[in-house]
Amino acid sequence: MLTIQANSVHRTIYPMTFRFSIVILVVIVLSSCEKSRPDRAANNFQKDKMILALDQTRLLVSEVAWNLDEPWEIAWGPDDHIWITEHKGFVKRLDPVTGRIRTVLHIPNVFFARTPGLMAMVLHPDFDTDPYVYLHYTYIDSTYSFTGSHGETSYVRSRIVRYKYFPKEDTLKNEEVILPNIPGNTYHNGSRMTISSDNKIIAAIGDVGDNEAIIDKNALTGKVLRLNLDGSVPVDNPLKDKYFYSMGHRNIQGIVEGRGTIYASEHGPNNDDELNLIRPNEDYGWNRVEGFCDTENELSYCDSTDITEPIYAWTPTIAPAGLDYYDHDVIPEWKNSLLLTTLKGRSLQLLKLNNEGQRIIDEQFYLQKRFGRFRDLCISPQGDIYLITSNTDWHIDRNPWMYSNVPADGNDRVVKLSPLPDGELPDLPVITEDSAQIQLFSAERINYDIPGTRLFITHCAPCHLPGGQGVANSVPPLVDTEIIHDKKRLIHVTLHGMSGKISVNGMEYEGVMPGFSVSLSDEEISTILNYVLVHLNSEEEAVITEEDVLEARNNI
């Protein structure tokens, strides 16, 4: 090798064999880059749909998989494949380069209903040497029964298990139960899991309708749990020999760590969906506090109890689901943000964090009503974003009035967002950020001057509809029914909720109604019920007083 100087510019002359080696090295590097980010032109299975224009970046929005059946979890694996769970007990593995999707596991004993089933999944961080996949699913245990807070009997339990992946057979085998006998129910099982930076499983378990267990640190439900990768209890957990990490959770459906902070998205009843910072040994308030401490009952409770409030809340509810942390340079506008999928909101929402990651400083909405309900998302190491829809689940059939612009064929799919190279602009429709959250149901021609209207529309109409007519097979009507003439029962159910089967006007309904004892005052509850009686049912006068509500509240 010779170095010469000409016109103050240094030039290095390499022997021919060395230059040839450099060429080979460049080819290898370029080849490696091609593998790390698949060539869009080679993905002939990919259906390009539109371009999402941000301030600087253009994102190609495309579909890369179809005909999924109620997917719940999507995760980018350490093997550079996309892993997907389906509610009915299937685990699938998608090759993002070829679009090939294969079933690698079916768990036949999964109990599947509206919300129970195969749910959360995470992969071992050292997958090459420890190829384990962790799953959380519900099952029926005939030797066990549980009576929920609404009086229903459940034989449902859930468990966290791990399977070993065998690459030559492309299958998961050898189930090992690492956390057995988690109480379950036909609703509010959760769940999400993530692996923390210190290699712990962070698992969110719903309240399963057990109001007593929520505040019991020895119980597993209504909690965030922390496990070692082999299922044992970490020695530095808040309580010795306990999985307990935090409590007071209703139904977490998104959890992720970003820069050392754990974030969780949580379903509220019909108000106050929450975004929480999860910290050890803290109480997040459910079911004594919904969202922030801002009602009379909540303020009284928070004065005497140490409650951790959310950093963000949504009313009306948007059903926040999957949650991930974006920290890639390829979409600079979204760096240091949480990406949230919503079900009722039918959107991808960006929650911009402050520099410390402790509060939300901006909220943006994307893809609303473009693909229907979004259940979860994952992010590739290159910064591409993959979303799964949830249009084949029970909610759309139960509440068709709530949804519009759901894909006509209804099947669930994987949607990909990938940055376009500078100068590349395919001939596709261009969309931008949505200006505001969509209206979640039609409430046109409503006279808000009538006392109680706004309270009813906010708290009752999302399920019972603005006219109180209910939804066949799931939500009973509030008009022309004998229920409204039983004043004590009407107050009790409004305060404390109910679940299970109910017969109204000769028709059976089955669902879950939240109680409003925490979020609404005696005056507000009496106002809502009198609105139902007088405005919706043409009763002559208001008959439910604040004193009636207070008496019912004190009798429980």
More confident residue, 508 or 92: 92
**283 vs 302: CA distance, rounded Å:** 11
pLDDT tens by residue, 415-436: 999 999 987 889 999 999 999 8
- pLDDT for position 297: 84
**Quick one: average pLDDT of 304-328?**
95
The pairing of strands 385-389 and 374-379 is antiparallel
**Quick one: average pLDDT of 267-280?**
94
Place 28 in a pLDDT band, splitting at 50, 70 and 90. very low
**Quick one: average pLDDT of 184-196?**
94
Q: Is the pLDDT of residue 293 over 70?
A: yes
Read off the pTM: 0.83
Q: Is the pLDDT of residue 247 over 70?
A: yes
Please state which of the ranges 80-89, 203-212, 388-397, 441-450 shows the lowest mean pLDDT: 441-450
Task: Please give the CATH number for the structural domain made up of 40-431.
Answer: 2.120.10.30
Q: Is the pLDDT of residue 16 over 60?
A: no
CB atoms within 10 A of CB 493: 17
**156 vs 335: CA distance, rounded Å:** 41
By the 8 A CB rule, do 369 and 404 touch?
yes
- pLDDT for position 499: 77
Radius of gyration for the chain, computed over Cα atoms and rounded to the nearest angstrom:
26
CB atoms within 10 A of CB 38: 21
- pLDDT for position 211: 86
More confident residue, 146 or 393: 393
Tokens of residue 163, six digits? 């399977």
Q: Is the pLDDT of residue 319 over 90?
A: yes
Residue 307's alpha-carbon distances to 210, 257, 283, 288, in angstroms, are: 19, 22, 5, 10
Please state which of the ranges 71-85, 138-152, 322-336, 432-446 shows the lowest mean pLDDT: 432-446
The rounded mean pLDDT for the chain is 88
DSSP per-residue letters across 9-74: EEEEE--HHHHHHHHHHHHHHHHHHHHHS--GGG-TT-EEEEEEE-SS-EEEEEEEEEEESSEEEE
Place 70 in a pLDDT band, splitting at 50, 70 and 90. very high
**239 vs 70: CA distance, rounded Å:** 37
Q: Is 381 helix (H, G, I), strand (E, B) or coil?
A: coil
- pLDDT for position 37: 52
**19 vs 10: CA distance, rounded Å:** 17
By the 8 A CB rule, do 464 and 470 touch?
yes
pLDDT tens by residue, 466-519: 888 888 777 889 998 887 788 888 999 999 888 777 888 888 887 778 888 888
Place 441 in a pLDDT band, splitting at 50, 70 and 90. low
Would you list the domain boundaries of the chain?
Answer: 2-36, 40-431, 453-554
Q: What is the DSSP letter of 234?
A: P
Largest CA distance in the chain: 103
Residue keyed to tokens 């395919």: 426
Task: Please give the CATH number for the structural domain made up of 453-554.
Answer: 1.10.760.10
Ramachandran assignment for 330, one of left (phi > 0), alpha (psi -120 to 50 degrees), beta (any other): alpha
- pLDDT for position 23: 41
**Quick one: average pLDDT of 216-236?**
97
- pLDDT for position 484: 79
More confident residue, 323 or 504: 323
**Quick one: average pLDDT of 80-107?**
97
- pLDDT for position 39: 52
Q: Is the pLDDT of residue 59 over 70?
A: yes
Tokens of residue 428, six digits? 């596709």
